[in-house]
Amino acid sequence: MQDFEQQLRDALARKEQPPYFEAKVLAATRRQPKPVFLRWAFATASALLIAAGIWTDHRAGIQAKEQLELALRVTVTELGKVQRTVRASTEEE
Amino acid sequence: MIKLALITCLSLAPLGAQELKIPASLDRLAAKATEVVDVTMDANLLQLAGRFLSDKNPDDAQVKKLIEGLKGIYVRSFEFAKQGEYQDSDVEPVRAQLHTPAWSRIVGVRSQKSNENSEVYVKTGNGKIGGLAILVTEPKQLTIVSIEGSIDPDQLGQLGGHFGIPKIDTRKETGHGKDE
Amino acid sequence: MPTAGAATEANVECPPNMTFAELLRANQSMVFSLAYHFLRDRGAAEEVAQDVFLRLHGKLDDLADSRHVVFWLRKVTSHRCIDYARKRGSQFTIALDDTSEPSVASQPGDPLLNRRLQQLIAALPEKPRMVMVLRYQEDLTPEEISEVLEMPVRTVKSHLHRSLAMLREKIERSMGDIR
């Protein structure tokens, strides 16, 4: 039973949010009215983020790379299917 | 086969450079699909991904070279539990765009046995490939791939065997004119 | 061995008085993942997760301190997901990129089994499904789940017990014996 529970933990391991998620939420909050002190806190946090130079988000980059690999995988797989379909079609004639 | 068709197409100079737009209406198929691949990568995201590809890793370097001239990669793939979950009319907006002078179909084949229809299009201009589109319709799967920008399909084929990408069968085609 | 996605001590207890941006960064994975594993739809998960954080943004003044935020996030996310699923009806999408591929970073365990379990969990009714996700994604105890879902502990334990038995049986039938 413990192994099965571990399998469940594996299956439900956290999934990463899209790379743009954080920026999207922060952008949406800017459209929300908020108390003055929170604006100050947010402005400070933003300034710190910019100062630290972390707009180039390491995680976002890794996720972009994974998305790229996925896209290429599908592309090459489908091209392979096309090749096989062509071959099968040729053999049918 | 694909290479021969490509060489033929490069000699054409169709007008315009229309990008393939994957209609948002296709997204509603996601609700019916058991598996969905949805990748939207514009030039910025591709550039970001490229920064995380290492020149020292041969696989990464290969991909980096492939994406150098790309402006976008868009993939929508839907797998369904049963047939009939999507119609030709769902795909028609995509086909309509591909049947314009900017695009040339280099492969179009239907397998009667499996009822699959596979089409590959390229967009050419100034003797270069400016885009690649793949449209595969199967009874329980629909896949659309659109790659914008300068792409070398040979480089795509060379990715096979890396990143978990299956190798494309590179058996040489024999004879001309039988494959389409 | 926890994977990159597992619940960590750092996320369970946030330092006090974090800013919204810091709270977002610290908890976005947890919120998105809860929504994703429950709804099995990336777009819907994103929508719910964003909604939860926007609510948090408006509510930050009312929350005692950052340490209560995690509990609040789990609670609101859970309830939002259940509401969302009920409105939408029982349709699920499973993203293909969930299936393990050699180049994709770390999903532990057997990919085929993972996928099958995810599908089976997604087919559970809403409350037992959320109980399972909270238990096995977040490693919450039945007592903690009871507080998050505002459900008696006995009901939580019953959901866990029945769901585990059903999942085991279905997995054994479809994939052979598991230990």
* Integer Cα distance of C8 and B96 in angstroms: 50
Q: Do C43 and B37 touch (CB under 8 A)?
A: no
- The most confident of the ranges A44-48, B19-23, C131-135 is C131-135
Residue C76 near residue C109 (C-beta atoms within 8 A): no
Residues 24-53 of B with CB under 8 A from C: 27, 30-38
Tell me the residue length of chain C.
179
B176 vs A55, more confident: A55
Pairing of strands B35-42, C94-95: parallel
| Residue C160 pLDDT class (50, 70, 90 cuts) | very high
Alpha helices by DSSP H, listed for B31-170, are: 43-51, 58-67, 88-98, 153-158
Would you call C88 an interface residue with chain A, using a CB distance cutoff of 8 Å?
no
Sign of the dihedral defined by the CA atoms of residues C115, C117, C122, C123, in that order: positive
DSSP 3-state of B135: strand
pTM across the whole model:
0.47
Supply the DSSP symbol for B28.
G
Residue C11 confidence (pLDDT) above 70: no
Structure tokens at C105: 């970073």
| Residue A32 pLDDT class (50, 70, 90 cuts) | low
Average pLDDT over residues A58-87: 82
ipTM confidence score: 0.79
Q: Do C95 and B31 touch (CB under 8 A)?
A: no
Residues 30-49 of A with CB under 8 A from B: none
- The most confident of the ranges A84-93, C75-84, C106-115 is C75-84
Find which of B26, B29, B34 to mutate to test the C interface (most C CBs within 10 Å of its CB): B34
Would you call B10 an interface residue with chain A, using a CB distance cutoff of 8 Å?
no
B36 CB contacts (<8 Å, ≥6 apart)?
A: B30, B76, B77, B78, B79, C42, C93, C94, C95, C96
Based on its alpha-carbon atoms, the radius of gyration of chain B, rounded to whole angstroms, reads: 17
CA neighbor of C39 nearest in space, from C114, C121, C159, C107: C121
C100 CB contacts (<8 Å, ≥6 apart)?
A: C107, C111, C114
Tokens 């994709």 found at: C104
Angle, helices A2-11/C153-175, rounded to nearest 10 degrees: 90
Would you call A54 an interface residue with chain B, using a CB distance cutoff of 8 Å?
no
Q: Do B31 and C43 touch (CB under 8 A)?
A: no
Q: Do C108 and A13 touch (CB under 8 A)?
A: yes
CA neighbor of C26 nearest in space, from C35, C16, C36: C16
The per-residue pLDDT for B37 is 86
Q: Do A29 and C139 touch (CB under 8 A)?
A: no
Find which of A25, A76, A77 to mutate to test the C interface (most C CBs within 10 Å of its CB): A25
Average pLDDT over residues C123-132: 92
Q: What is the pLDDT of residues C19-43, one digit of tens each?
A: 889 999 999 999 999 999 999 989 8
Find which of A2, A5, A6, A10 to mutate to test the C interface (most C CBs within 10 Å of its CB): A10
Q: Do C61 and A45 touch (CB under 8 A)?
A: no
Q: Do C93 and B77 touch (CB under 8 A)?
A: no
Q: Within chain B, which residues score under 70 in pLDDT?
A: 1-18, 160-180
Pick from A43-52, B141-150, C89-98: least confident = C89-98
Residue C101 confidence (pLDDT) above 60: no
Q: What is the pLDDT of residues B149-173, one digit of tens each?
A: 988 777 777 776 665 565 555 444 3
